[in-house]
Amino acid sequence: TLAESGINWIRIPIGYWAFNLTDDEPFVNGQVPYIERILGWAQETGLKVELDLHGAPGSQNGYDNSGHRVTPEWLHSRTNVDRTLDAVRKMTQLAVDWEDAVYGIQILNEPSRWKWPVSDILEFYNEAYDIVRSMTNDVYFVIHDTFLGPNEWSTLVSSNWTNALMDTHIYQMFDNYIITLNETAHIDMVATMAENVTRFDRSSIGVVVGEFSAATHDCTKYINGLGRGSRWEGTLEYVDHPLCPFENCTCTGDYGSDYTGFSDHYKRFLRRYIDSQLSIYDRELAGWFYWNFRTESAPEWDYMLGVEQGWIPKFSRTAIPMTSDEESEISATDLVSSASLLPTFTPYVIFTSVLAFALVLF
């Protein structure tokens, strides 16, 4: 189980349609009883929960993970904003009702800075903050960085906020250059990508890595959207040639969907890659969420499979700093706890999107 694997905080993504739905929208609702069932399980096992509004009316980013792959219209309509705030209010009520389980409210996942001025997004953040704090002072108020670099994060934060966290997502497969890197360069890139994050002034707002995984390729089915292909094989729109770091770029073997076909070398790389991330996120930040708890045919995105197969440490604080040229296989006796390096409040956490699909399908 998650708790037995050393996890203490889970992130549950929820679409706005769980709280308000119009007749012309293609979703179904009725999710709240299932969310409360999970909150009950979390309470029984001692897990804490972050409720994450993952999709907003009109789409906050145009991505399929918002519930609708479309040109985003979220902030173009005050009605959309009001419905989003209504969802935030109802999520916060869940936090009040389940105060022993809910430790955080993420008011919106990945709003797009490319579509709207940051000042408009901050205005929404402030409205959401007022709603959350009018109902409770006890939960973390969590915002997303809108894909801004850490040197610009201060433009998203108000000085009067308390008990707040900045959520940043760190991946190495959604970029046409980074996906061309070899294994050594990917491990080195972990420190490069984390450097500015760890330098950010966290005296007024903590930082969590809200999403990351073991993947360094985009071969995973539908990872770029339904029927959109991959950079790896050169089949994604606007990519005119394969971008993998090899001559033969195929989504098979180590880069396929069947983990039983993974080579020992690749599994050692996955372990080094995960350890290099956890050694920073555990030591430097307020916590992390791994995307995902369980998956179908996506091994590098499956936390529990990674624990079972050994490329993710069973207890997150056993991650040790790794150098990119270490090639020896890691055994359990090689692991040391980094708990002494952690602030006492630091949660080590996992993302679970068990509801991400259920919210759409039932």
Q: Which of 223, 211, 290 is nearest to 255 (CA)?
A: 223
Catalytic residue among 50, 211, 233, 284: 211
* DSSP code string of 59-83: -SSSSGGGT--SS--GGG-HHHHHH
* C-alpha closest to that of 57 among 96, 1, 97, 17: 17
Which residue among 36, 44, 50, 110 is the active-site one? 110
Is position 296 annotated as part of the catalytic site?
no
With CA atoms as reference, report the closest residue to 130 among 108, 156, 107.
Answer: 107
State how beta strands 48-55 and 350-351 pair. Answer: unpaired
HSE of 237, CA atoms in CB hemisphere, 13 A? 5
Question: Helix 118-135 vs helix 78-97: angle between axes, to the nearest 10 degrees?
Answer: 30
Contact by Cβ (8 Å): 297, 251: no
Cβ(314)–Cβ(2) below 8 Å: no
Contact 172, 134 (CB under 8 A): no
CB atoms within 10 A of CB 202: 16
Report d(CA 349, CA 11) in Å as an integer: 8
Collapsing DSSP states into helix, strand and coil, what is residue 13?
strand
36 is catalytic: no
Unique residue bearing structure tokens 């046409």: 176
> Which of the residues are catalytic?
110, 211
